[in-house]
Structure 1
């Protein structure tokens, strides 16, 4: 009974019903890194890094399941599907168990939350189904899960004296359960023994270390910590397969025994004769993590090419069947423009060190889906860290490399790479290409202003079509350019003034008309909480929002900063829930700040997710975290707002999420004004969005008798109305007129809105 009490203490049911966010969110995960596969009936279940998808062989369609559908976003270790109970089980590196039942995700945190199990031993390694039980092989033992009752059963600690040991797999044969371990041999017990929680009921059949076990043609097969598959006959092992390299996985199906190594998949018949093999080659390379065979096809789970379908009758043709997505989940910077999203995956650390250099290519999302430009198609550019779309030609994109210069993309193809050998960009290592470019922005004349780190001429003006640059010498502000390890952001205000965020020199300002320079640095001088500037954004009121490792500041008068002797920034003071004044995002590490079409602020943080603030920062409109949204992590690296659609994109190290916002950029006229939802039906508690507005348009809402109930000047291309009469009370049912006048009063339009209470 002591073991039973231990079990109850260890696994008190902790099931959570995950929320589906698909109404307002879209997940843009990469499905190119496949960690595990499982094939049964007419479907293949594939696990990528932190999302899964189901490939239907008959319809040839792939259905993704991600954090938007309720998954955790943690790192997946294994996947299994029970065709009897129609349950998909997903195991994680951290011990999390998730089940997909009738399109609903149920999360079990029992293993994750147990302090008696070290974090390094909670990994779920394998699933095996027998009758109504799912045997879960973990880094500490074996856990039963009842698929019929959807609850945990017994837990077996089967190491010496009941210790925790790593179980790599289980099978049940002839009323015996067999388990392989990485160092404690092959263990066996009577599967019907009611006291399997007692480690004394388990015996060691064969000593040694084994990476897995499967059941094929009425035979128990194990694979050792090398290249051998061996058959278990009583207490004897007989080698039946010798692979060319270490075996990663082996699985059985009606097509035969599938043995997987990193560079080869082999299919063996019941006599263990190899009947088919698929091998990587220089012409068609792949690196394998898993593979499954079904209906005379093999499905290769690769490390960078996704899931590949191969007909065993023609193994030379490999058809990608993964859902569309970016090249990698590690999105470093993103840029949304006119319903397109560009993504780069380069990287530098907190000291602007890009090494080891990342070679990951470029991804682009458009109405046609994902387009991926591989690392072999970017002219050798590494560490791609910033994206700027030419607003006068959206087919021309400039991408900064924090090592190799400036990459030019035209019509989705890399056409030029500018560095110190062929342009005015500068290296800080004589005789080498060490051109550390980063933040860039276009001015109204079509010039690209870009930072060039660790050299005196730290700001460059580059005109597309030319190779020369106009240099801005910053040595009067930064005496030792090598000590300022890098520049983060570059922005421009409506007067043409440039601002750069630096590593240790605060904010650098440059007036392009007069050539004047200014530096905002230090707490005493400029009221900055830190001199490491991580993000800059000029809002629609021409105010500069500054992100640091220790909070946010605002420069309210950007043109005037060049006329002031000691320009200072201001913090945003808000009242907390108890009415006590607090500094907005005090001591928070800020990764990015963006402004939407309504001048609301979106702020990405290092550890607290994303904040959505009103234009002045006084009201928190939303706070998205990994706990209350599909974000897979609270470390959000970058944000980009698409003014044309209102969508807000979040880049993390674990994937990209899209929030379907409604705040769009200003239009050139009032021809496309629309209000939604319309009609407002009973029970609706949200806000009505009026979009298609010009900049600073006057919006008045009246009832049918002409009584004014709301009025606002638009910041961007849309406003939102809470359907109250100036915030006092909800307006009654009826028809309401939306009267819109342009800023110069030369253009007007009228729309109608029906409200039903």
Structure 2
């Protein structure tokens, strides 16, 4: 189950860019090692170490695979299926035929309280026993039907079975045993026996894990390992100060006992064989261990909360790491694309514009590969405490990028040359506020047409700053609150600036092309008192392909398509914005007026992508017609809270940042200019008999008209491009598939103000 790669995405297909960096749960099949990561599943082939990634995009039902405290995974050798359980209590069973989703526990309204699944145990009779926050649930792995449910009113952390067909549950109140040889109701908690001091266990205790190995039970309790050849006794007491026993594992030839040394950030595994001989593994290959397995080659694989996937060769062999290609973290605050390269800032700022402590840096996606720049790499991020990277701007004329930290100022970087320069209160007007003088909080970045970089310095006395193309800084006072954030530059070179907080709105700043002379500057503050804004909570401002400014607020979008500084003959303002009207069930309504618009993306066809707290709404270029609607329920979207949207005009991919990470969706649009590109072509070409998708014509002017004829010149189909790309289903006007042959595609630009521009290409269809 491979996910689609960015390079071979078809129209309407998704790709995930999840942070496969930490293996928080681990299990194995005969051929693969499976890791549950923060958000999805990764597998490593035992033979050649090739990696495979499984996520919601590739068929899983949701995301949120993690350690045993919130979700995990376990391979069943009897059914040969992988059971994945999530933080929301859903279950996916990965079979050779696909994914089977089971949401009964999640949706069961009769279960009160904690529904989480903490662990899974398989017996040899196609039965899975789920340890949950409310009791024990049995699930048949052959027909995927539930058996009994015992609601104990206790957290069950682990279960196991012995050779006498007893089922044991390790709970917060001790170990309970169920004799499954008896003919009574297994779901009746009264039929379970509590094991206590009569079998050598404490009178009151909590059991964190339990397993059956070498004909006896093993239990983790009170930071000791107990076992019972007859009665229970303590087999292990932590031999070293600070050691904490965490788990038992029998996924290997020996019993594994995992422990942590939290104060040392180290972990280790001890191994017990059938003769009860003990071997001590490597200390420190894993840092914060959750589980471990041993494969057929004797390698110990660790589920570790720190980054990278670790294993040791044998019990005391070398420590090895497996790295993969993905962003370092799921946190994202800003997406920017230039020349086919995606840059993502990891954030560190709350919605109320409070600084956090995010050290995840930035992630760069280039040529199908991710590179992470974070604390320690480069070293200046560590030495300058350059954290909370909130905004990114890319110099249009060179390879320099600018990183805005909501903590430590502005970083100018050239990643290819590995050069970095920091601007803060010591060498620039980027200073802190009166209440936090040591925090230089950059909250907005944008270049104007003269290659001047405009900077929002949140809460500074002069919060608007320009870094000129000549390399000099200028700072400006504003007639709005000094709590300003994102900046967007329009076609007049006006700076549209998000003003946050209770007195929020839009600040439009015009330096009139004289950045060195603030005396002629103009400012206009727009809010609900002098415009059609329905809310002063402005979240985003985006310029579309026609130069109109689309503003996202907590009560829907508003668009400005005129010069906001212009007045009529009597001096009255008339550019107060436009609220778009749509028809909903044949009733006129304001466009998305009940939606909190978090971000707005513009694709190659000038269609509007509205990111909200309820997923994505895609509307026509004028906003009045619905095109697409994406939520977690009807699409592979990870999360309905959309953080940012950024379109790649070259690939036609719309990048989507959510609370749960980055995704890509292949639109049917690309960037279109005024003229045809030198290479106008059809893809795929030829169209083979087994292909049933759309045919794309690329390299067109924006919104070009295309006419498709057969070789004799008979018109078969006519359409228009979306941006620089048009599509055809391979059918005629009557919906019938066209016959085999060569078809001519004639394209004409639609801009009547330019010289006529035409192009012709061909496509071969084979039926």
TM-score of the pair, normalised by structure 2: 0.86
Matched, 1:89 2:83: yes
Structure 2 counterpart of 1:190, from 179, 182, 206: 179
Structure 1 residues 459, 141: CA separation in 2 closer, same or farther (over 3 Å shift)?
A: same
Return closer, same or farther for 1:565/1:597 CA change in 2, 3 Å cut-off: same
Which residue does the alignment assign to 2:195? 205
Residue 345 of structure 1: aligned partner = 346
State the alpha-carbon separation in 1 of the partners of residues 695 and 403 from structure 2: 38
Q: Distance in 2 between matches of 1:526 and 1:681?
A: 56
- The 8 Å contact of residues 730 and 738 in structure 2, kept in 1 or not, is answered as no
Q: Does structure 1 conserve the Cα–Cα contact (< 8 Å) formed by 2:78 and 2:126?
A: no
CA distance in 2, matches of 1:684, 1:621: 25
Q: Which of 242, 247, 250 is the matching residue for 1:249?
A: 247
| Aligned partner of 2:475 among 471, 476, 495 | 471
Match of 2:516 in 1: none
- 1:255 CA drift (Å): 4.7
Q: Structure 1 residue 228 and structure 2 residue 228: aligned?
A: no
Deviations along 1:187-212, whole A, 9 cap, x unmatched? 11222334222223221122521111
Give the structure 2 partner of residue 641 of structure 1. 647
Is 1:733 the counterpart of 2:722? The answer is no
**SS of equivalent residue, structure 1 residue 586:** coil
User: Shift in Å at residue 429 of structure 1?
Assistant: 3.5
Q: 2:426 and 2:644 mapped to 1: Cα distance?
A: 31
**Bigger mean CA offset, 284-293 vs 437-446:** 284-293
Corresponding position of 2:677: 670
Query: Using the alignment, how far apart are the partners of 2:413 and 2:687 within structure 1?
Result: 45
Q: 1:644 to 1:569 in 2, by over 3 A?
A: same
Q: Write the mapping of 1:607-618 to structure 2, written as runs, cut at 5 A.
A: 608-618=614-624
CA contact (8 A) 1:543 1:558 kept: no
What are the ranges of 5 or more consecutive residues in structure 2 without an aligned counterpart? Answer: 66-70, 197-202, 514-519
Q: Deviations over 1:161-211 (max 9, x none)?
A: xxx211111111122334243332111122233422222322112252111
State how far apart, in whole Å, the 2-side matches of 1:329 and 1:715 are: 32
- Aligned mate of 2:134, from 132, 135, 140: 140
Distance 1:390 1:637, change over 3 A: same
Task: Report whether the alignment pairs 1:745 with 2:755.
Answer: yes
| Counterpart in the other structure of 1:5 | none
Q: Any idea what SS the aligned residue of 1:112 has? A: helix
Assess, with a 3 A threshold, how the Cα gap between structure 1 residues 317 and 465 changes in structure 2: closer, same or farther. farther
- Residue of structure 1 equivalent to 2:656: 650
Deviation of residue 127 (structure 1)?
A: 2.8
1:386 is matched with which residue: 383, 386, 391? Answer: 391
Q: Which moved more, 1:700-709 or 1:323-332?
A: 700-709
Sort the Cα spacing of 1:675 and 1:601 in 2 relative to 1 into closer, same or farther, 3 A. farther
**Does residue 156 of structure 2 align to residue 167 of structure 1?**
yes
Q: CA deviation at 1:698?
A: 5.7
**Is the 8 Å Cα contact of residues 260 and 291 (structure 1) preserved in structure 2?**
no
SS at match of 1:526: coil
1:510-559 deviation per Cα after TM superposition (whole angstroms, max 9, x unaligned): 22326543435333421111112111111111100000111100001146
Match of 2:537 in 1: 532
Tell me, in whole angstroms, the C-alpha distance in 2 between the residues paired with 1:715 and 1:241: 69
Q: Which residue matches 2:289?
A: 288
CA distance in 1, matches of 2:329, 2:111: 32
Deviation at 1:424, TM superposition (A): 2.7
CA distance in 1, matches of 2:393, 2:581: 33
Distance 1:464 1:275 in 2: 65
2:308 counterpart residue number: 306
The TM-score normalised by the length of structure 1 is 0.87
Q: Is 1:447 matched with 2:452?
A: yes
Q: Deviations over 1:236-268 (max 9, x none)?
A: 233235264222222122155242325212232
Sort the Cα spacing of 1:450 and 1:359 in 2 relative to 1 into closer, same or farther, 3 A.
same
For residues 558 and 662 of structure 1, what CA distance do their matches in structure 2 show?
Answer: 32
Is contact 2:113–2:134 with CA below 8 Å preserved after alignment? no
Structure 1's 742 and 588: CA in aligned 2 closer, same or farther, altered over 3 A? Answer: closer
Which residue in the other structure is 2:68 paired with? none
- 1:498 aligns with 495
Residue 359 of structure 1 aligns with which residue? 359
Aligned-residue offset at 1:145: 0.9
2:385 is aligned with 1:396: no
Which residue, 320, 324, 327 being the options, matches 1:318?
Answer: 320
Q: 1:584 and 2:586 equivalent?
A: no
Partner SS for 2:107: coil
1:264 aligns with 2:267: yes
The whole-number CA distance in structure 1 between the counterparts of 2:702 and 2:750 is: 8
* Residues in 1 aligned to 2:686 and 2:748: alpha-carbon distance in whole angstroms: 19
| 2: CA distance, partners of 1:367 / 1:420 | 37
User: In structure 2, what is the Cα distance between the partners aligned to 1:686 and 1:622?
Assistant: 18
Q: Secondary structure at the match of 2:536?
A: coil
Matching residue within 405, 410, 414 for 2:409: 405
Q: Take 1:127 and 1:351, find their aligned partners in 2: how far apart are those partners?
A: 44
The answer to whether residue 507 in structure 2 is matched with residue 513 in structure 1 is no
Give the 3-state SS of the residue equivalent to 2:110 in structure 1: coil
Deviations 1:103-127 (A, max 9, x none): 5111111101112223424334333
C-alpha distance in 2 between matches for 1:289 and 1:519: 56
1-structure distance, mates of 2:79, 2:664: 33
**In 1, distance between residues paired with 2:550 and 2:755?**
31
How far did 1:682 drift?
9.0
Q: Does the aligned pair in 2 maintain the 1:643–1:665 contact within 8 Å?
A: yes
Aligned to 2:530, what secondary structure does the other structure show? helix
Is 1:551 aligned to 2:547, yes or no?
A: no
Write the distance in 1 (CA, Å) between the matches of 2:286 and 2:756. 63
Cα gap change, 1:465 to 1:559, in 2 (>3 Å): same
Cα root mean square deviation, aligned? 3.0
Residue 603 of structure 1 aligns to a residue whose secondary structure is: strand
Q: Distance in 1 between matches of 2:122 and 2:682?
A: 54
**Alignment correspondent of 1:6:** none
Match of 1:115 among 85, 95, 109: 109
Distance 1:39 1:218, change over 3 A: farther
Contact 1:490/1:499, CA 8 A, preserved across alignment: yes
Q: CA deviation at 1:601?
A: 1.2
Q: Which residue of 1 aligns with 2:200?
A: none
